Amino acid sequence: MKMLIPTMPEAELQRLRHSAPALEFLVARDRQEALALAPQVHASFSFYQTELISAAPQLRWVQTRSAGVDSCPFDQFRTRNITLTNARDIYGIQLADHTLALILAFSRQLPLLFRAQQKEQWVSRHTFPPGELAGQTLLVVGLGGTGLETARRAAGFGMRVLATRRRAGEPKPSFVDALHPPEDLHRLLPEADWVAVCVPLTRHTRDLFSDREFALMKQSAYIVCVTRGGIINTAALLRALEAGRIDGAGLDVTDPEPLPAGHPLWSRPDVIITPHASGHSPYADARMLDLLCENTRRFAQGETLLNVVDLEMEY
Amino acid sequence: MKMLIPTMPEAELQRLRHSAPALEFLVARDRQEALALAPQVHASFSFYQTELISAAPQLRWVQTRSAGVDSCPFDQFRTRNITLTNARDIYGIQLADHTLALILAFSRQLPLLFRAQQKEQWVSRHTFPPGELAGQTLLVVGLGGTGLETARRAAGFGMRVLATRRRAGEPKPSFVDALHPPEDLHRLLPEADWVAVCVPLTRHTRDLFSDREFALMKQSAYIVCVTRGGIINTAALLRALEAGRIDGAGLDVTDPEPLPAGHPLWSRPDVIITPHASGHSPYADARMLDLLCENTRRFAQGETLLNVVDLEMEY
């Protein structure tokens, strides 16, 4: 069997070969080369655009490099029943770090204090009110890889952690106070001081946060999103911020993305924008290679793969 | 017996009276009024300057409003064996929140990203390297109230937590990987990716971090301090930063304090300055009142007080 892969350092390629000696690896430098190799391949890492799937009649498995698979041509995958595996375990740690960084930046008033530092002003601590996370309620929307890591960290701060999860009946981690099905979202929003959006973008979660959801949140609440831009409706978020219906938003992902200069979100003092940087970590590449090697070994030996995407749920 | 207290809201005064009906409370609006009342009092909340202690021959107990008591006239307290109690339990939670806010701000590159937001620039995530806390080593210098809360939070991020504590033989909390006596500091510094200074300022800890200590730290390490400015020698810190011997510093306290405009620490991109704001929390006043009432009750009934300061160690 043959597997299509992008160019990678020789040492990594050696490890990959070693993990599945029975497979032949075809290296493509770009999409064009990948397309030319497609007719031969049974598996593909990283390449999965529509034309490639069409050109690869023997394709049985695709491994993505990302956790989010919202750009995947799901119709083709469903029709041909191609197995799709993503990289969801690779990013949870750093996405959770980033989520907590944004929450703490708001709680401890860092945006205001950064601006004061630029002006070399030792502002009186009585002119701004830093918060405290202990006892506050964090709502983790989507207790998957990122949600779990976010909840674990929040519990260390003494926060009350509520979470939604599609499989709400499965065992609840000790660091989550209450676990609910996704349909409870509207009932939970009024309780949250902080909302951490940890769901992937799918046809079911697009615009999950819009006018109605912001209206249900506390006026003092913040929303943080590090997964995908389309989950929060940008126009509705701006309306909510302008009307003071919520206190602020920390966004590592936006819609549109990249956020163009001049967009009103950039200059709001109640918004922190970071440029889709939450997935970055010095250790992500090593974790990706581990996952790729393990799944390639499993594929070659006919074992069940890790991180299989539900083609109906699209994550 | 009589207790000197500053002006406080009537409801709080009622609670205080209720906690120790046998005590008479003398309210002073300022230091001058306090000084005039001093000859009558057996206890004092918040007032403890040298002249007041001298003018209060019957004084047996002072409760401070702060955790740090470095401005206390210890010679007088020792000579007269006056009991000093501080507010160390009141501030640990928010000081630890602030410490983690500064650590995460550095780890996730927030200073750089705040500047990019001001310029409305979606910077490429390949031009800056966010970090990841899992697996990194945090050295908590001083596992007291603030150190314990800092360690608890760091453990939630999967950090390896080392700590120093004067009473190193006492039981080690589960979220601390290794506990050492203060004399081990120099041996521990080379292991740390992050150094959280959680000791109080005393004659023993002034300039605890100077040229030698920065030389022992990793080049990639950061130091964070939220307790008192004098613990880090400012000139030595600036030398270390300029020479690239450490990667950065997050300081909520400085020496001098307030940091004057034009001071070189303000404009360094590898330094975050916040204006002694870490002790602020919406819940601090309520915790302070709880402690004051409980200690006042204990004083009136002759019981052992909470948070007694060791007059030799000066914390």
The C-alpha atoms of residue B225 and residue B251 are separated, in whole angstroms, by 5
Nearest-by-Cβ selection for B101 from A94, A104, A280: A104
Residue of B nearest to A157 (CA): B153
Cβ contact B191:B304 at 8 Å: no
Cβ contact B241:B270 at 8 Å: yes
The model's pLDDT over B109-138, given as tens digits with 9 standing for 90+, comes to: 999 999 999 999 999 877 888 899 999 999
| Rg, chain B, Cα only | 22
The complex scores an ipTM of 0.94
The model's pLDDT over A65-82, given as tens digits with 9 standing for 90+, comes to: 999 999 999 999 999 999
Query: Which positions 221-280 of A are in contact with B (Cβ < 8 Å)?
Result: 257-259, 261-263, 266-267, 272-280
Tell me the chain A residues in contact with residue B129 when contact means C-beta distances shorter than 8 Å. 280, 282
Query: Among candidates A113, A135, A91, which has minimal Cα distance to A252?
Result: A91
Residue of A nearest to B283 (CA): A132
Instruction: Evaluate if residue B287 carries a pLDDT over 90.
Output: yes
Residue A102 shares a structural domain with residue A206: yes
Instruction: Evaluate if residue B293 carries a pLDDT over 90.
Output: yes
Mean pLDDT of A23-43: 98
Residue B104 shares a structural domain with residue B15: no
Query: Which positions 184-213 of B are in contact with A (Cβ < 8 Å)?
Result: none
Mean pLDDT of B19-28: 97
**How does residue B3 score in pLDDT terms, banded at 50, 70 and 90?**
very high
pLDDT of amino acid A125: 75
Residue B96 shares a structural domain with residue B83: no
Q: Which residue has the tokens 């000081």?
A: B95
Cβ contact A23:A300 at 8 Å: yes
The C-alpha atoms of residue B113 and residue B123 are separated, in whole angstroms, by 8
Task: Tell me if residue B276 is catalytic.
Answer: yes
Structure tokens at B236: 């030595």
Structural element, H or E, at residue B194 = strand B194-197
Residue A56 shares a structural domain with residue A100: no
B176 inside domain: yes
Cβ contact A249:A224 at 8 Å: yes
Residue A237 shares a structural domain with residue A220: yes
The rounded mean pLDDT for chain A is 96
Instruction: Evaluate if residue A167 carries a pLDDT over 90.
Output: no
Nearest-by-Cβ selection for A280 from B125, B135, B282: B125
Residue B111 shares a structural domain with residue B257: yes
The C-alpha atoms of residue B280 and residue B98 are separated, in whole angstroms, by 10
Cβ <8 Å between A94 and B124: no
A246 inside domain: yes
CATH of the domain at B286: 3.40.50.720
How far off is chain A from B120, nearest CA to CA, in Å? 5
**How does residue A129 score in pLDDT terms, banded at 50, 70 and 90?**
confident
Residue A69 shares a structural domain with residue A100: no
Query: Containing domain of residue B64, as a range?
Result: 2-88+282-300
pLDDT of amino acid B273: 98
Q: Is A107 on the interface with B (CB under 8 A)?
A: yes
Nearest-by-Cβ selection for A125 from B152, B175, B275: B275
DSSP B303: P
How many residues does this entry show for chain A? 315
**How does residue B167 score in pLDDT terms, banded at 50, 70 and 90?**
confident
Q: Which residue has the tokens 């964070």?
A: B224
pLDDT of amino acid A30: 97
Residue of B nearest to A111 (CA): B114
CA B103 to chain centre: 16
Cβ <8 Å between B132 and A281: yes
Q: Is A220 on the interface with B (CB under 8 A)?
A: no
A306 inside domain: no
Residue B127 shares a structural domain with residue B241: yes
pLDDT of amino acid A169: 80
Burial class (CB in 10 A: 0-12, 13-18, 19+), A174: exposed
pLDDT of amino acid A176: 98
pLDDT of amino acid A282: 93
* B311: three-class secondary structure by DSSP: coil
Query: Among candidates B207, B240, B244, B212, which has minimal Cα distance to B225?
Result: B207
Cβ contact A272:A251 at 8 Å: yes
DSSP A141: E
Mutate which: B132, B193, B255, B283, vs A, most A CBs within 10 A? B132
The C-alpha atoms of residue A182 and residue A208 are separated, in whole angstroms, by 11
> What domain count does chain B have?
2
What are the strands of the beta sheet with A222-225, ordered from one edge?
A: A178-180, A160-164, A137-141, A194-197, A222-225, A248-251, A271-273
Query: Among candidates B87, B88, B83, which has minimal Cα distance to B42?
Result: B83
Mean pLDDT of A29-38: 97
Cβ contact A272:B117 at 8 Å: yes
Cβ <8 Å between A259 and B122: yes
Residue A18 shares a structural domain with residue A136: no
Nearest-by-Cβ selection for A280 from B120, B130, B280: B130
pLDDT of amino acid A96: 98
Tell me the chain A residues in contact with residue B279 when contact means C-beta distances shorter than 8 Å. 125
Cβ <8 Å between A153 and B157: yes
B232 inside domain: yes
DSSP bridge partners of A131: none
Structural element, H or E, at residue B151 = helix B145-156
**How does residue B219 score in pLDDT terms, banded at 50, 70 and 90?**
very high
* A60: three-class secondary structure by DSSP: coil
Cβ contact B40:B60 at 8 Å: no
Cβ <8 Å between A281 and B125: no
**How does residue B248 score in pLDDT terms, banded at 50, 70 and 90?**
very high
B315 inside domain: no
What are the strands of the beta sheet with A83-85, ordered from one edge?
A: A24-28, A2-6, A43-45, A61-63, A83-85
Question: What's the predicted TM-score (pTM) here?
Answer: 0.94
CB atoms within 10 A of CB B207: 15
Amino acid at position B252, single letter: D
Cβ <8 Å between A275 and B135: no
CB atoms within 10 A of CB B41: 26
A309 inside domain: no
Q: Which residue has the tokens 């970071």?
A: A274
How far off is chain A from B125, nearest CA to CA, in Å? 6
The model's pLDDT over B72-97, given as tens digits with 9 standing for 90+, comes to: 999 999 999 999 999 988 999 999 99
Mutate which: B110, B272, B287, vs A, most A CBs within 10 A? B110
Residue A72 shares a structural domain with residue A188: no
Q: Prior bond to A190 cis, omega within 30?
A: no
pLDDT of amino acid B255: 97
Cβ contact A49:A281 at 8 Å: no
The C-alpha atoms of residue B84 and residue B65 are separated, in whole angstroms, by 11
CB atoms within 10 A of CB B76: 15
How far off is chain A from B165, nearest CA to CA, in Å? 21
**How does residue B180 score in pLDDT terms, banded at 50, 70 and 90?**
very high
pLDDT of amino acid B130: 87
Active site residues of A: 228, 257, 276
Residue B245 shares a structural domain with residue B120: yes
A217 inside domain: yes
Nearest-by-Cβ selection for A125 from B116, B263, B280: B280
B210 inside domain: yes
Residue A72 shares a structural domain with residue A205: no
Instruction: Evaluate if residue B168 carries a pLDDT over 80.
Output: no
DSSP bridge partners of A308: A85
**How does residue B63 score in pLDDT terms, banded at 50, 70 and 90?**
very high
The model's pLDDT over A190-206, given as tens digits with 9 standing for 90+, comes to: 999 999 999 999 999 99
